[in-house]
Amino acid sequence: MQADVDVLVVGAGACGLAAAIATHDAGASVAIIEKLDRPGGNSSLSTGSVPAAGTRFQRDAGIEDSPERFIADLVRTGGPTDCPQLLRRLAETSAATVEWLVDSVGARMALVTAYKHVGHSVPRLHAPVSRRGQDLVDDLLSAVEKRSIPLAVGNGARALVSDANDGVIGADIETTNGERQRILARKVVLAVNGFAGNRDLVARFCPEISGAQYFGARGSTGEAVLWGEQLGAALGNIGAYQGYAAVSDPHGSLLSWTTIEKGGIIVNGAGQRFGDESAGYSGYTPNVMAQGGPCFAIFDQKIFDIAALEEEFVELANYGGIKKASTAAELAKMYSLDPVALTATVEIFNKAARGQPPDVFGRREFALAPLTGALYICRVVPALFHTQGGLMVDIDGRVLRPNGRPIANLFAGGGAAAGLSGRSGAAGYASGNGLLSAIGLGRLAGLAAAQEIRSEVAA
Protein backbone atom coordinates (compact mmCIF):
# COMPACT_ATOMS: atom_id res chain seq x y z
CA MET A 1 0.00 0.00 0.00
CA GLN A 2 1.27 3.46 -0.92
CA ALA A 3 0.14 5.68 1.95
CA ASP A 4 -0.77 9.31 1.37
CA VAL A 5 0.34 10.13 4.93
CA ASP A 6 1.85 8.25 7.84
CA VAL A 7 -0.93 9.13 10.30
CA LEU A 8 -4.42 10.39 9.51
CA VAL A 9 -6.16 12.09 12.45
CA VAL A 10 -9.95 12.18 12.16
CA GLY A 11 -11.32 15.06 14.20
CA ALA A 12 -9.85 18.43 15.18
CA GLY A 13 -10.82 18.87 18.80
CA ALA A 14 -8.20 18.92 21.55
CA CYS A 15 -7.62 15.17 21.18
CA GLY A 16 -6.97 15.27 17.46
CA LEU A 17 -4.81 18.38 17.64
CA ALA A 18 -2.72 16.89 20.47
CA ALA A 19 -2.34 13.60 18.58
CA ALA A 20 -1.19 15.41 15.45
CA ILE A 21 1.36 17.54 17.30
CA ALA A 22 2.79 14.53 19.14
CA THR A 23 2.95 12.52 15.90
CA HIS A 24 4.72 15.31 14.03
CA ASP A 25 7.24 15.90 16.81
CA ALA A 26 7.99 12.17 16.88
CA GLY A 27 9.04 12.32 13.23
CA ALA A 28 6.02 10.99 11.32
CA SER A 29 3.98 12.81 8.69
CA VAL A 30 0.43 13.61 9.78
CA ALA A 31 -2.73 15.26 8.49
CA ILE A 32 -6.00 16.20 10.21
CA ILE A 33 -9.49 16.15 8.76
CA GLU A 34 -12.52 17.73 10.44
CA LYS A 35 -16.09 17.33 9.25
CA LEU A 36 -17.31 20.70 10.58
CA ASP A 37 -16.34 24.08 9.22
CA ARG A 38 -14.24 24.91 12.26
CA PRO A 39 -12.09 22.90 14.68
CA GLY A 40 -12.58 22.65 18.43
CA GLY A 41 -15.60 20.47 19.15
CA ASN A 42 -16.52 20.02 22.80
CA SER A 43 -13.07 21.21 23.83
CA SER A 44 -14.00 24.73 22.71
CA LEU A 45 -17.14 24.64 24.86
CA SER A 46 -15.33 23.49 27.99
CA THR A 47 -13.48 25.49 30.63
CA GLY A 48 -10.19 24.18 29.24
CA SER A 49 -9.34 22.51 32.56
CA VAL A 50 -6.91 19.57 32.52
CA PRO A 51 -6.34 17.75 35.84
CA ALA A 52 -2.80 16.60 36.55
CA ALA A 53 -1.00 15.30 39.62
CA GLY A 54 2.55 16.18 40.60
CA THR A 55 3.15 19.05 38.20
CA ARG A 56 5.80 21.69 38.79
CA PHE A 57 2.98 24.22 39.00
CA GLN A 58 1.56 22.39 42.02
CA ARG A 59 4.98 22.21 43.63
CA ASP A 60 5.48 25.94 43.09
CA ALA A 61 2.13 26.54 44.81
CA GLY A 62 3.08 24.30 47.73
CA ILE A 63 0.48 21.67 46.86
CA GLU A 64 1.40 18.06 47.56
CA ASP A 65 -0.09 15.64 45.06
CA SER A 66 0.77 12.37 43.37
CA PRO A 67 -0.56 10.02 40.69
CA GLU A 68 -1.61 7.59 43.43
CA ARG A 69 -3.72 10.24 45.11
CA PHE A 70 -5.21 11.18 41.75
CA ILE A 71 -6.02 7.54 41.01
CA ALA A 72 -7.68 7.18 44.41
CA ASP A 73 -9.82 10.25 43.70
CA LEU A 74 -10.86 8.93 40.28
CA VAL A 75 -11.74 5.50 41.67
CA ARG A 76 -13.67 7.00 44.57
CA THR A 77 -15.63 9.28 42.25
CA GLY A 78 -16.14 6.97 39.28
CA GLY A 79 -16.50 3.59 40.93
CA PRO A 80 -15.90 0.44 38.87
CA THR A 81 -14.37 0.95 35.44
CA ASP A 82 -13.90 -1.27 32.39
CA CYS A 83 -10.35 -0.01 31.89
CA PRO A 84 -8.40 0.38 35.15
CA GLN A 85 -5.06 0.21 33.33
CA LEU A 86 -6.02 3.19 31.16
CA LEU A 87 -7.11 5.17 34.21
CA ARG A 88 -3.75 4.50 35.88
CA ARG A 89 -1.82 5.33 32.71
CA LEU A 90 -3.53 8.69 32.20
CA ALA A 91 -3.12 9.63 35.87
CA GLU A 92 0.55 8.65 35.88
CA THR A 93 1.26 10.65 32.72
CA SER A 94 -0.98 13.60 33.61
CA ALA A 95 1.85 15.83 34.86
CA ALA A 96 3.88 15.14 31.72
CA THR A 97 0.78 15.92 29.62
CA VAL A 98 0.22 19.34 31.20
CA GLU A 99 3.89 20.27 31.16
CA TRP A 100 4.05 19.17 27.49
CA LEU A 101 1.11 21.45 26.76
CA VAL A 102 2.91 24.40 28.29
CA ASP A 103 6.48 23.68 27.18
CA SER A 104 6.07 22.08 23.74
CA VAL A 105 2.66 23.26 22.57
CA GLY A 106 2.88 26.73 24.05
CA ALA A 107 -0.47 26.57 25.83
CA ARG A 108 -1.11 29.47 28.19
CA MET A 109 -2.21 27.57 31.26
CA ALA A 110 -1.98 28.03 35.01
CA LEU A 111 -2.90 26.01 38.07
CA VAL A 112 -6.35 26.84 39.42
CA THR A 113 -6.02 27.37 43.18
CA ALA A 114 -9.32 29.16 43.89
CA TYR A 115 -11.13 25.81 44.12
CA LYS A 116 -10.53 22.05 43.86
CA HIS A 117 -13.73 21.32 41.96
CA VAL A 118 -15.69 18.10 41.71
CA GLY A 119 -13.91 14.82 42.42
CA HIS A 120 -10.50 16.22 43.39
CA SER A 121 -9.09 16.22 46.90
CA VAL A 122 -6.47 18.89 46.09
CA PRO A 123 -6.24 21.66 43.47
CA ARG A 124 -4.98 19.98 40.29
CA LEU A 125 -6.90 21.63 37.47
CA HIS A 126 -4.68 23.46 34.99
CA ALA A 127 -6.56 25.86 32.73
CA PRO A 128 -6.41 29.04 30.68
CA VAL A 129 -6.72 32.13 32.86
CA SER A 130 -10.01 32.92 31.11
CA ARG A 131 -11.40 29.44 31.92
CA ARG A 132 -12.37 29.20 28.24
CA GLY A 133 -11.66 26.02 26.34
CA GLN A 134 -11.47 28.00 23.11
CA ASP A 135 -8.26 29.62 24.35
CA LEU A 136 -6.68 26.19 24.82
CA VAL A 137 -7.90 25.11 21.38
CA ASP A 138 -6.46 28.27 19.86
CA ASP A 139 -3.07 27.48 21.40
CA LEU A 140 -3.20 23.94 20.00
CA LEU A 141 -4.18 25.29 16.58
CA SER A 142 -1.30 27.73 16.70
CA ALA A 143 1.09 24.85 17.41
CA VAL A 144 -0.38 22.88 14.47
CA GLU A 145 0.07 25.87 12.18
CA LYS A 146 3.66 26.46 13.29
CA ARG A 147 4.46 22.85 12.39
CA SER A 148 2.74 23.18 8.99
CA ILE A 149 0.50 20.20 9.77
CA PRO A 150 -2.28 20.03 7.13
CA LEU A 151 -5.74 20.63 8.61
CA ALA A 152 -8.76 20.33 6.32
CA VAL A 153 -12.08 21.50 7.76
CA GLY A 154 -15.36 20.60 6.08
CA ASN A 155 -13.89 17.23 5.15
CA GLY A 156 -15.75 14.53 7.04
CA ALA A 157 -14.80 10.87 7.16
CA ARG A 158 -17.71 8.73 5.95
CA ALA A 159 -16.14 5.30 6.48
CA LEU A 160 -12.91 3.65 7.53
CA VAL A 161 -11.03 1.64 4.94
CA SER A 162 -9.87 -1.86 5.90
CA ASP A 163 -7.47 -4.33 4.32
CA ALA A 164 -7.96 -8.08 3.86
CA ASN A 165 -6.98 -8.68 7.49
CA ASP A 166 -9.45 -6.14 8.87
CA GLY A 167 -6.67 -3.70 9.68
CA VAL A 168 -7.47 -0.04 9.07
CA ILE A 169 -5.57 1.58 6.19
CA GLY A 170 -7.33 4.92 5.77
CA ALA A 171 -10.67 6.65 5.42
CA ASP A 172 -13.16 7.68 2.78
CA ILE A 173 -14.02 11.34 3.14
CA GLU A 174 -16.51 13.77 1.71
CA THR A 175 -14.97 17.10 0.76
CA THR A 176 -16.48 20.56 1.04
CA ASN A 177 -17.79 20.38 -2.53
CA GLY A 178 -19.46 17.01 -1.94
CA GLU A 179 -16.87 14.89 -3.70
CA ARG A 180 -15.73 11.53 -2.29
CA GLN A 181 -12.05 10.95 -1.75
CA ARG A 182 -9.99 8.16 -0.21
CA ILE A 183 -7.00 8.93 2.01
CA LEU A 184 -4.64 6.04 2.70
CA ALA A 185 -2.57 6.08 5.88
CA ARG A 186 -0.30 3.78 7.83
CA LYS A 187 -2.19 4.62 11.02
CA VAL A 188 -5.53 6.27 11.81
CA VAL A 189 -6.38 8.10 15.04
CA LEU A 190 -10.09 8.57 15.76
CA ALA A 191 -10.67 11.81 17.63
CA VAL A 192 -14.29 12.35 16.61
CA ASN A 193 -15.73 12.84 20.10
CA GLY A 194 -18.63 10.90 21.57
CA PHE A 195 -22.24 10.18 20.69
CA ALA A 196 -24.20 12.63 22.85
CA GLY A 197 -25.60 14.28 19.72
CA ASN A 198 -26.98 10.97 18.42
CA ARG A 199 -30.37 10.45 20.08
CA ASP A 200 -30.59 6.80 19.09
CA LEU A 201 -27.22 5.94 20.62
CA VAL A 202 -27.96 7.96 23.78
CA ALA A 203 -31.27 6.13 24.21
CA ARG A 204 -29.47 2.83 23.66
CA PHE A 205 -26.53 3.35 26.03
CA CYS A 206 -27.54 6.20 28.41
CA PRO A 207 -31.34 6.00 28.64
CA GLU A 208 -31.68 7.94 31.91
CA ILE A 209 -30.50 11.15 30.23
CA SER A 210 -32.01 10.60 26.79
CA GLY A 211 -34.75 13.17 27.37
CA ALA A 212 -32.42 16.03 28.29
CA GLN A 213 -31.45 18.78 25.89
CA TYR A 214 -28.05 18.31 24.30
CA PHE A 215 -25.61 21.07 25.07
CA GLY A 216 -22.41 19.88 23.41
CA ALA A 217 -20.73 20.34 20.06
CA ARG A 218 -22.63 19.63 16.84
CA GLY A 219 -20.16 17.00 15.73
CA SER A 220 -20.68 14.48 18.55
CA THR A 221 -22.73 12.05 16.49
CA GLY A 222 -21.16 8.71 17.35
CA GLU A 223 -19.17 7.70 14.28
CA ALA A 224 -16.48 6.08 16.43
CA VAL A 225 -18.99 3.71 18.04
CA LEU A 226 -20.70 2.91 14.74
CA TRP A 227 -17.45 2.30 12.84
CA GLY A 228 -16.02 0.39 15.77
CA GLU A 229 -18.96 -1.97 15.90
CA GLN A 230 -18.62 -2.61 12.17
CA LEU A 231 -14.97 -3.56 12.72
CA GLY A 232 -15.74 -5.77 15.72
CA ALA A 233 -14.28 -3.44 18.37
CA ALA A 234 -15.12 -3.74 22.04
CA LEU A 235 -16.85 -0.89 23.88
CA GLY A 236 -15.88 0.38 27.33
CA ASN A 237 -17.66 2.43 30.01
CA ILE A 238 -20.31 2.99 27.38
CA GLY A 239 -23.07 4.06 29.79
CA ALA A 240 -21.09 6.91 31.38
CA TYR A 241 -21.78 10.52 30.51
CA GLN A 242 -21.17 14.07 31.66
CA GLY A 243 -24.27 16.04 32.40
CA TYR A 244 -24.55 19.61 33.58
CA ALA A 245 -27.12 20.36 36.24
CA ALA A 246 -27.21 24.14 35.79
CA VAL A 247 -27.45 25.52 32.27
CA SER A 248 -28.87 29.02 32.49
CA ASP A 249 -32.31 29.30 30.93
CA PRO A 250 -33.07 30.82 28.47
CA HIS A 251 -29.54 32.23 27.98
CA GLY A 252 -28.03 28.82 27.25
CA SER A 253 -24.65 29.28 28.96
CA LEU A 254 -23.27 27.23 31.83
CA LEU A 255 -23.85 28.73 35.24
CA SER A 256 -20.48 28.31 36.95
CA TRP A 257 -20.67 25.41 39.39
CA THR A 258 -18.48 27.51 41.66
CA THR A 259 -21.75 29.13 42.72
CA ILE A 260 -22.95 25.81 44.12
CA GLU A 261 -19.65 24.32 45.25
CA LYS A 262 -18.92 27.42 47.31
CA GLY A 263 -22.18 27.10 49.21
CA GLY A 264 -25.10 27.81 46.89
CA ILE A 265 -28.22 25.68 46.54
CA ILE A 266 -30.64 24.58 43.82
CA VAL A 267 -34.40 24.64 44.36
CA ASN A 268 -37.31 23.43 42.24
CA GLY A 269 -40.41 25.27 41.07
CA ALA A 270 -41.90 24.87 44.55
CA GLY A 271 -38.95 26.71 46.08
CA GLN A 272 -37.61 23.58 47.77
CA ARG A 273 -34.29 21.76 47.68
CA PHE A 274 -34.41 18.15 46.54
CA GLY A 275 -30.96 16.62 47.10
CA ASP A 276 -27.30 16.97 47.97
CA GLU A 277 -25.86 19.49 45.52
CA SER A 278 -22.30 18.53 46.42
CA ALA A 279 -22.73 15.50 44.13
CA GLY A 280 -21.31 17.83 41.49
CA TYR A 281 -22.49 19.42 38.27
CA SER A 282 -22.59 16.10 36.46
CA GLY A 283 -23.64 13.83 39.31
CA TYR A 284 -26.51 16.12 40.27
CA THR A 285 -27.91 16.30 36.73
CA PRO A 286 -30.38 13.37 37.14
CA ASN A 287 -31.74 15.01 40.32
CA VAL A 288 -32.48 18.24 38.48
CA MET A 289 -33.92 16.39 35.53
CA ALA A 290 -36.30 14.49 37.79
CA GLN A 291 -37.97 17.79 38.79
CA GLY A 292 -39.64 17.93 35.38
CA GLY A 293 -39.09 21.64 34.81
CA PRO A 294 -36.78 24.59 35.37
CA CYS A 295 -34.99 24.92 38.70
CA PHE A 296 -33.22 27.83 40.36
CA ALA A 297 -29.69 28.28 41.68
CA ILE A 298 -29.37 30.57 44.69
CA PHE A 299 -26.20 32.03 46.21
CA ASP A 300 -24.98 35.16 47.97
CA GLN A 301 -22.60 38.06 47.36
CA LYS A 302 -19.42 36.43 48.62
CA ILE A 303 -20.01 33.48 46.29
CA PHE A 304 -20.89 35.81 43.41
CA ASP A 305 -17.57 37.62 43.87
CA ILE A 306 -15.58 34.39 43.51
CA ALA A 307 -17.54 33.21 40.47
CA ALA A 308 -17.01 36.63 38.92
CA LEU A 309 -13.37 35.66 38.32
CA GLU A 310 -14.73 33.63 35.37
CA GLU A 311 -15.50 35.57 32.18
CA GLU A 312 -18.53 33.51 31.15
CA PHE A 313 -20.16 34.07 34.54
CA VAL A 314 -19.69 37.83 34.23
CA GLU A 315 -21.17 37.77 30.74
CA LEU A 316 -24.21 35.85 32.02
CA ALA A 317 -24.71 38.40 34.79
CA ASN A 318 -24.36 41.30 32.35
CA TYR A 319 -26.98 39.74 30.06
CA GLY A 320 -29.47 39.56 32.93
CA GLY A 321 -29.28 35.84 33.54
CA ILE A 322 -28.50 36.40 37.23
CA LYS A 323 -30.85 38.54 39.33
CA LYS A 324 -30.31 40.05 42.78
CA ALA A 325 -32.60 40.82 45.73
CA SER A 326 -32.28 41.76 49.39
CA THR A 327 -34.22 38.78 50.73
CA ALA A 328 -35.27 35.28 49.70
CA ALA A 329 -38.90 36.45 49.57
CA GLU A 330 -38.05 39.20 47.09
CA LEU A 331 -35.97 36.74 45.09
CA ALA A 332 -38.93 34.35 44.87
CA LYS A 333 -41.22 36.98 43.38
CA MET A 334 -38.90 37.43 40.40
CA TYR A 335 -39.85 33.96 39.15
CA SER A 336 -43.28 33.52 40.74
CA LEU A 337 -41.95 31.12 43.36
CA ASP A 338 -43.61 30.76 46.76
CA PRO A 339 -41.84 33.37 48.93
CA VAL A 340 -42.71 31.59 52.17
CA ALA A 341 -41.39 28.25 50.90
CA LEU A 342 -38.18 29.74 49.53
CA THR A 343 -37.52 31.71 52.72
CA ALA A 344 -37.98 28.56 54.76
CA THR A 345 -35.71 26.58 52.42
CA VAL A 346 -32.88 29.09 52.78
CA GLU A 347 -33.30 29.26 56.57
CA ILE A 348 -33.25 25.47 56.94
CA PHE A 349 -30.20 25.20 54.71
CA ASN A 350 -28.38 27.91 56.67
CA LYS A 351 -29.01 26.06 59.92
CA ALA A 352 -27.55 22.91 58.37
CA ALA A 353 -24.52 24.88 57.20
CA ARG A 354 -24.00 25.88 60.84
CA GLY A 355 -24.40 22.23 61.88
CA GLN A 356 -27.76 22.70 63.62
CA PRO A 357 -29.10 20.16 62.65
CA PRO A 358 -27.35 18.09 59.90
CA ASP A 359 -28.62 18.61 56.37
CA VAL A 360 -31.67 16.47 55.61
CA PHE A 361 -30.19 15.56 52.20
CA GLY A 362 -26.81 14.59 53.60
CA ARG A 363 -24.81 17.54 52.32
CA ARG A 364 -21.64 17.95 54.38
CA GLU A 365 -19.61 20.41 52.31
CA PHE A 366 -20.93 23.94 52.73
CA ALA A 367 -17.82 26.04 51.92
CA LEU A 368 -18.87 29.70 52.36
CA ALA A 369 -22.44 28.99 53.51
CA PRO A 370 -24.58 29.96 55.35
CA LEU A 371 -25.99 32.34 52.77
CA THR A 372 -26.09 35.89 54.12
CA GLY A 373 -27.06 39.35 52.96
CA ALA A 374 -28.24 39.97 49.42
CA LEU A 375 -29.03 36.88 47.36
CA TYR A 376 -28.75 36.00 43.68
CA ILE A 377 -30.91 33.68 41.58
CA CYS A 378 -30.45 32.04 38.17
CA ARG A 379 -33.05 29.93 36.39
CA VAL A 380 -31.42 26.67 35.25
CA VAL A 381 -32.20 23.47 33.36
CA PRO A 382 -30.25 20.18 33.12
CA ALA A 383 -28.40 19.14 29.99
CA LEU A 384 -26.32 16.37 28.48
CA PHE A 385 -22.85 17.70 27.71
CA HIS A 386 -21.01 14.70 26.34
CA THR A 387 -20.70 10.96 26.66
CA GLN A 388 -17.77 9.45 28.54
CA GLY A 389 -17.54 5.94 27.10
CA GLY A 390 -16.62 4.58 23.71
CA LEU A 391 -14.17 2.24 22.04
CA MET A 392 -12.12 0.06 24.35
CA VAL A 393 -8.46 1.01 24.03
CA ASP A 394 -5.16 -0.04 25.55
CA ILE A 395 -2.86 2.29 27.49
CA ASP A 396 -1.58 3.90 24.27
CA GLY A 397 -4.96 4.30 22.59
CA ARG A 398 -4.96 1.20 20.36
CA VAL A 399 -8.54 0.11 19.67
CA LEU A 400 -9.21 -3.38 21.01
CA ARG A 401 -11.42 -6.29 20.07
CA PRO A 402 -13.43 -8.15 22.74
CA ASN A 403 -10.58 -10.68 23.03
CA GLY A 404 -8.17 -7.87 23.94
CA ARG A 405 -6.26 -7.92 20.66
CA PRO A 406 -5.84 -4.60 18.83
CA ILE A 407 -7.40 -3.74 15.50
CA ALA A 408 -4.30 -3.11 13.41
CA ASN A 409 -3.37 0.53 12.81
CA LEU A 410 -6.40 2.01 14.60
CA PHE A 411 -6.15 4.35 17.59
CA ALA A 412 -8.76 6.38 19.45
CA GLY A 413 -8.86 9.01 22.17
CA GLY A 414 -11.07 11.53 23.89
CA GLY A 415 -14.80 11.05 23.49
CA ALA A 416 -14.24 8.30 20.91
CA ALA A 417 -12.63 6.07 23.55
CA ALA A 418 -13.56 4.57 26.90
CA GLY A 419 -13.11 7.36 29.44
CA LEU A 420 -12.32 7.86 33.11
CA SER A 421 -15.80 8.31 34.58
CA GLY A 422 -16.84 4.81 35.53
CA ARG A 423 -19.09 2.40 33.72
CA SER A 424 -22.41 4.25 33.69
CA GLY A 425 -24.31 7.32 34.77
CA ALA A 426 -23.28 10.90 35.50
CA ALA A 427 -21.96 10.59 39.05
CA GLY A 428 -18.53 9.29 38.04
CA TYR A 429 -17.43 12.44 36.25
CA ALA A 430 -14.65 14.40 37.95
CA SER A 431 -13.83 17.88 36.65
CA GLY A 432 -11.55 17.75 33.63
CA ASN A 433 -11.88 14.00 32.98
CA GLY A 434 -12.90 14.63 29.40
CA LEU A 435 -9.95 16.86 28.53
CA LEU A 436 -7.43 14.61 30.26
CA SER A 437 -8.73 11.68 28.22
CA ALA A 438 -8.68 13.84 25.09
CA ILE A 439 -5.27 15.46 25.36
CA GLY A 440 -3.53 12.77 27.39
CA LEU A 441 -4.70 9.89 25.24
CA GLY A 442 -4.33 11.89 22.03
CA ARG A 443 -0.70 12.56 22.85
CA LEU A 444 -0.02 8.93 23.79
CA ALA A 445 -1.75 7.65 20.63
CA GLY A 446 0.30 9.99 18.44
CA LEU A 447 3.55 8.86 20.05
CA ALA A 448 2.60 5.18 19.79
CA ALA A 449 1.54 5.49 16.15
CA ALA A 450 4.84 7.15 15.24
CA GLN A 451 6.78 4.48 17.13
CA GLU A 452 4.94 1.67 15.31
CA ILE A 453 5.78 3.26 11.97
CA ARG A 454 9.45 3.53 12.90
CA SER A 455 9.47 -0.14 13.91
CA GLU A 456 7.73 -1.23 10.70
CA VAL A 457 10.15 0.76 8.54
CA ALA A 458 13.13 -0.66 10.42
CA ALA A 459 11.82 -4.19 9.94
180-193 tens-digit pLDDT? 999 999 999 999 99
200/207 Cα distance (integer angstroms):
10
pLDDT higher than 90, residue 45 = no
Instruction: Answer whether 28's CB lies under 8 Å from 7's CB.
Output: yes
CA atoms within 13 A on the CB side of 424: 8
Return the higher-pLDDT residue of 99 and 179. Answer: 99
pLDDT higher than 90, residue 446 = yes
411/408 Cα distance (integer angstroms):
9
Average confidence (pLDDT) over 152-178: 93
Q: Map out the domains of the chain with their CATH numbers.
A: 5-238+389-458 (3.50.50.60), 243-384 (3.90.700.10)
Instruction: Answer whether 440's CB lies under 8 Å from 90's CB.
Output: yes
pLDDT digits (tens, 9 = 90+) for 64-90: 999 999 999 999 999 999 999 999 999
Instruction: Answer whether 254's CB lies under 8 Å from 359's CB.
Output: no
What is the model's pLDDT at position 428? 94
Instruction: Answer whether 196's CB lies under 8 Å from 225's CB.
Output: no
- In the chain, the percentage of residues whose pLDDT exceeds 70 is 100
What is the model's pLDDT at position 1? 66
Arithmetic mean of pLDDT over the chain: 95
- In the chain, the percentage of residues whose pLDDT exceeds 90 is 89
pLDDT digits (tens, 9 = 90+) for 300-343: 999 999 999 888 899 999 999 999 999 999 999 999 999 999 99
Return the higher-pLDDT residue of 212 and 99. Answer: 99
Burial (CB count within 10 angstroms: exposed 0-12, middle 13-18, buried 19+), residue 200: exposed
Burial (CB count within 10 angstroms: exposed 0-12, middle 13-18, buried 19+), residue 85: exposed
Give Cα separations from 424 to 75, 82, 390, 395 (angstroms).
13, 10, 12, 21
What is the model's pLDDT at position 131? 85
Poorest-confidence range of 184-193, 250-259, 405-414, 432-441? 250-259
394/441 Cα distance (integer angstroms):
10
